[in-house]
Structures are given as structure tokens and as C-alpha cells.
């Protein structure tokens, strides 16, 4: 059972014509819907429309672009149940989380509708008497977005809301197992009153990305996804001297110190590891716990994991739905088995549920050996690796013992201690007494193998603009 079944035809001249893309419900194995893919002709039409539309869209006063984005927020709220159901049926997240994701998208639209103009206002600089020097922010043109299935609305809106409002136009290549979400997202902007061509969905496979990115009309790209996908996009963009923003994998530490509020750290830790079925780059994956509270914390974490309801994602009472893809679940299980084989102890979970659908239980691994998959790789599912450390120094060392560097969560009742240690954690963001999350008001992004560049807030909207110096004598 695959998340999307694609039937491909290639003409004798090499032109690709795709027939269908089928989205499959991972909770039931049933086909949700079938979509006609875009072939080379349709892709060319989209690129031509994007370029043509950009020339007009860039001249729109930013206040008009902000008003349209506010309309998009309204469309999202008015259709949140329908959009949430599309998400749940295509990738398996609980319906309550899917609806909340749509609401968060509306919030991001509200944020940029209210703040984009201020973010992009010209900046004045010191200059000789009689001169004026400023930096203005001009849009670049069509931006390609390669987006993942795990947060199929949020990942797209957090690129589209700032970049379109800055005057760019967007081309979305979404994950092939969420074509309904991709179509619905284009609908959002159409219903909001955006001109045709400002936001377009390309229903294509990954093999088309290189050609689209290499096209002269595409000026930059943003990708959220795996390391290999990010490297491939960065390589193509580099050959053509095009800017990229990459948000890749993570193996985020969740550090619980000896003076932490254990009640809060358990409650938040459960959500931080199991939200979205654990399928999140910024999920808490490595729980690093001070020896003074280790036994209590782990016992309570295991108990909380075992109390979660794993089941039908369309049921409001479900805490953990289906994994998005049976093959990805099998990879996760292989990581768990290999880690146990290397010496890790499975305290709960550890086996796919004996039922139809791709269901994996919340799992806790202790005594995790260095270098085993649960220690050194990203586990994209509800699997927590727990570690016991004797002091804060070793906690930070273990937190930084990763190729990634996306986010971190650090728990202590001493806020000064938290801020001091946060500066020692090698990550793009550190949350003290809170789970790692993305918020439209603050910059988001990683370092090392977690990617580069920033999304959201003022930093995000300025990633894909020409920061042009204008000197007036």
C-alpha cells in the first residue's frame, strides 16, 4: 500500500504526460480520491502564467496584498472542518489536530496582513549631508516551494503568507500523498480574490523539481523535507545561482534538569513527542533527564504514553492517528528493532498494532546505545529515546551530540539558568519550559544538517526580497 499511486506515460519525443495520482487513506488503505497530474505542457503554462502575473502583482500596493491575505484567513476559518478532513484522510493525523492546523494557518495570515507593511518598510541609513540613503525591499519573482506531507497546510501557508505579500508569486510542488491538500490550498487563494497565477499548485512528481527550479523564470526555492531532498534542491539552485531556504530534519533534545517542574515537563513532553503522530521535524525525540529526577520522569512518561488513545483519526477522542505511510512506518519500526538489537530497552510500545492501517504505538526506549538509530538518526514517529545524565554539563553535551540543529526544549525552574544553558545548545531555536514550535511572530529555522535560512516573522518575509540600496544625491 503506497501513499500515492502514479501512472506515467512518456511520449516518443520524451515529453512526460502523467495520467493519475491517487491519494490513499493510511488508516484504512482506501483510495480517497484520484487526481490528474500535470504534464510538461501544463507545467509550462503554469510557469508562463507565474511570470506574467508577477509583473502586475509586484506593482500592487502592499496594503491591497495585505487585504487579500486577510481574506485568505477568512477562507481558512470558514472551511476549517472541510480542509481538516482532507488532511486527516490523506495523511492520518487526528481530526482535532488537522482543524487546529487550519486555524494556525489563519493566524499566520492575520499576522502578515497586519505586519507585512511594517516589516518591509524602507530602512534609512546615515549618509553625507544633502543625501538620503535607504534600503527598499523588492520582490524577486516566482518562488518554487517543495513542501512535505506532515503539516500539509501549515508548511505551505508559512511560505505563502509572507512571500506572496512581499510581492512574489508562488509555485507549490506538494508531497504526492496529499494532492487534495495541494488543490485545496490553491482554492484558498482563489476564494480570497487573488489574481490567477499568484499561487499555483503543480501536481507533479519529485523528478520534475529539477527542471522547474532550473527554469529562468523561477528565481528562488524553499524546501521543507528530508536531507537528501534538500541537498538535491540546493545543488540545482547552486548551479543556477538561485537562493534557497531549507528546513530539513531534526533530532531535537528535550532536556529535563533536576529543578524542573515534573508535572509540566511530562505533560508537555508527551505532546511534544506524539503530536502529529510524532511525524514532525521539531518533535522532541531525545529526552535527556537529570539523574535526580530520571526514574520519576521516565515512569510517568511511560504511563502517560500508555494512556494515549491510538485509533481512528476521524474520531475526536483519538490522541494518535495513523502514520502517514505504511512504508515509512516500516522504516521507523526497523529503527526501533535495530536500536533494541544494539542494547536499548523498550519500556512500552515497539510493535506495529495488529490492525488494519498504519498504526504505531507511542514507544519509549531507554539505555539507548551511542550510534544506534534511535540515538543518531531522526525517528519520524512516536518513539522517544530517554537518557540519564549526572549534571547539566553532560546534558548539554548530549543535546549537542547530533548532526542536526533545529530546535530544543529545556526545563528548569531557574529562568536565568535556562537562558544561560540555552546559549550553549547548538540549535536554531531553544524553548525554555515550553515545547519547540513554530510561531509566525518569531524566526524559525535550523543549523547544520537541519538546514539554513529563516521562516516567519520579519526575518522570514525578507528571505526572498532584493534588499536594494537606494542612494539619492
Position 20 scores a pLDDT of: 86
The active-site residue, picked from 66, 97, 101, 247, is: 247
Nearest to 247 by CA among 444, 433, 13: 444
C-alpha distances in Å from residue 144, one per residue of 11, 130, 199, 212: 26, 42, 10, 8
Angle at which helices 80-91 and 62-78 pack, to 10 degrees? 70
What CA–CA distance (Å, rounded) separates 377 from 346? 17
Torsion angle (degrees, nearest 10) of CA 187, 192, 196, 197: -80
Do residues 331 and 458 share a domain? no
pLDDT, block means (10 residues), the chain with 473 residues: 40 58 96 96 97 98 98 98 98 98 98 98 97 98 98 98 98 97 98 98 96 98 97 98 97 98 98 98 98 98 98 98 97 98 98 97 98 98 98 98 98 98 98 98 98 98 98 98
Do residues 304 and 232 share a domain? no
Do residues 367 and 415 share a domain? yes
**405, part of any domain:** yes
Do residues 297 and 263 share a domain? yes
Do residues 347 and 456 share a domain? no
Number of structural domains found in the chain: 2
Write down how long the chain is. 473
Do residues 272 and 418 share a domain? yes
**152, part of any domain:** yes
Nearest to 89 by CA among 19, 152, 158, 160: 152
**99, part of any domain:** yes
Here the cell at position 307 is 494512556
Torsion angle (degrees, nearest 10) of CA 32, 33, 39, 43: -80
Do residues 116 and 73 share a domain? yes
Position 2 scores a pLDDT of: 30
- Whichever domain contains 215, its CATH number is 3.40.605.10
Do residues 262 and 294 share a domain? yes
Position 15 scores a pLDDT of: 57
Position 5 scores a pLDDT of: 39
**445, part of any domain:** no
Position 399 scores a pLDDT of: 98
Q: Is 281 a catalytic residue?
A: yes
The active-site residue, picked from 46, 281, 372, 429, is: 281
Radius of gyration of the chain (CA): 23
**157, part of any domain:** yes
DSSP symbols for 37-84 = PP-HHHHHHHHHHHHHHHHHHTTS-HHHHHHHHHHHHHHHHHTHHHHH
Residue-number span of the structural domain to which 419 is assigned: 252-437
Longest dimension (CA), the chain: 78
Q: What is the DSSP letter of 455?
A: B
Do residues 299 and 356 share a domain? yes
With left for phi above 0 and alpha for psi between -120 and 50, is residue 209 left, alpha or beta?
Answer: alpha
Position 1 scores a pLDDT of: 25
**300, part of any domain:** yes
What CA–CA distance (Å, rounded) separates 442 from 459? 8
Position 16 scores a pLDDT of: 53
What CA–CA distance (Å, rounded) separates 385 from 400? 15
**179, part of any domain:** yes
What CA–CA distance (Å, rounded) separates 101 from 98? 5
Which residues, in sequence order, are bridge partners of residue 34?
22
User: How many other C-beta atoms are found inside a 10 Å radius of the C-beta of residue 231?
Assistant: 14
Do residues 216 and 282 share a domain? no
- Whichever domain contains 271, its CATH number is 3.40.309.10
Place of cell 540519564: 388
Do residues 57 and 128 share a domain? yes
User: Does residue 179 sit in helix, strand or coil?
Assistant: helix
**443, part of any domain:** no
Do residues 219 and 340 share a domain? no
Here the cell at position 88 is 486527516
Amino acid at each position: 500500500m503506497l501513499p500515492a499511486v502514479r501512472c506515467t506515460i512518456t511520449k516518443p519525443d520524451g515529453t512526460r504526460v502523467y495520467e493519475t495520482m491517487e491519494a490513499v487513506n493510511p488508516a484504512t488503505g482506501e483510495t480517497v480520491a484520484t487526481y490528474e497530474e500535470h504534464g510538461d505542457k501544463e507545467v509550462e503554462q503554469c510557469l508562463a502564467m507565474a511570470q506574467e502575473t508577477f509583473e502586475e502583482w509586484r506593482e500592487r500596493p502592499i496594503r491591497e496584498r495585505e487585504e487579500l491575505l486577510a481574506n485568505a484567513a477568512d477562507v481558512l476559518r470558514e472551511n476549517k472542518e472541510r480542509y481538516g478532513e482532507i488532511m486527516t484522510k490523506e495523511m492520518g493525523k487526528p481530526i482535532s489536530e488537522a482543524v487546529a492546523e487550519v486555524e494556525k494557518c489563519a493566524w499566520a495570515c492575520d499576522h502578515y496582513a497586519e505586519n507585512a507593511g511594517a516589516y518591509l518598510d524602507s530602512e534609512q541609513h546615515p549618509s553625507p549631508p544633502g543625501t538620503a540613503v535607504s534600503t527598499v525591499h523588492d520582490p524577486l519573482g516566482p518562488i518554487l516551494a517543495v513542501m512535505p506531507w506532515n503539516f500539509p497546510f501549515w508548511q505551505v501557508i508559512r511560505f505563502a503568507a509572507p512571500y506572496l505579500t512581499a510581492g512574489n508569486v508562488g509555485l507549490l510542488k506538494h508531497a504526492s500523498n496529499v494532492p487534495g491538500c495541494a488543490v485545496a490550498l490553491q482554492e484558498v487563494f482563489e476564494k480570497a480574490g487573488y489574481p490567477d497565477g499568484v499561487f499555483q499548485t503543480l501536481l507533479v512528481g519529485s523528478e520534475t523539481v529539477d527542471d522547474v527550479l532550473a527554469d529562468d523564470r523561477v528565481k528562488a526555492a524553499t524546501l521543507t523535507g528530508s536531507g537528501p531532498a534538500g541537498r538535491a534542491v540546493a545543488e540545482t539552485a547552486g548551479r543556477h545561482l538561485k537562493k534557497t531556504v531549507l528546513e530539513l530534519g531534526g533530532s531535537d533534545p528535550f532536556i529535563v534538569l533536576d529543578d524542573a517542574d515534573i508535572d509540566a515537563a511530562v505533560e508537555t513532553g508527551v505532546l511534544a513527542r506524539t503530536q502529529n503522530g510524532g511525524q514532525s521535524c521539531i518533535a522532541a525525540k531525545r529526552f535527556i533527564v537529570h539523574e535526580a529526577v530520571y526514574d520519576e520522569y521516565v515512569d510517568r512518561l511511560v504511563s502517560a504514553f500508555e494512556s494515549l488513545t491510538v485509533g481512528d483519526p476521524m474520531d475526536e477522542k483519538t490522541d494518535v492517528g495513523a502514520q502517514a505511510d505504511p512504508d515509512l512506518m516500516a522504516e521507523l519500526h526497523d529503527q526501533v528493532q535495530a536500536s533494541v538489537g544494539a542494547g536499548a530497552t523498550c519500556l512500552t510500545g515497539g510493535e506495529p498494532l495488529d490492525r488494519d492501517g498504519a498504526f504505531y504505538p507511542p514507544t519509549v526506549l531507554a539505555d539507548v546505545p551511542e550510534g544506534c538509530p534511535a540515538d543518531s538518526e531522526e525517528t519520524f514517529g512516536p518513539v522517544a529515546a530517554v537518557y540519564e545524565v549526572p549534571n547539566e554539563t553532560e546534558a548539554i553535551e548530549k543535546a549537542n551530540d547530533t548532526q542536526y540543529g533545529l530546535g530544543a526544549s529545556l526545563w528548569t525552574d531557574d529562568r536565568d539558568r535556562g537562558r544561560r544553558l540555552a546559549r550553549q545548545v547548538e540549535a536554531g531555536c531553544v524553548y525554555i519550559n515550553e515545547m519547540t514550535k513554530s510561531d509566525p511572530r518569531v524566526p524559525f529555522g535550523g543549523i547544520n544538517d537541519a538546514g539554513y535560512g529563516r521562516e516567519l516573522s520579519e526575518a522570514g518575509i525578507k528571505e526572498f526580497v532584493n534588499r536594494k540600496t537606494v542612494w539619492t544625491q
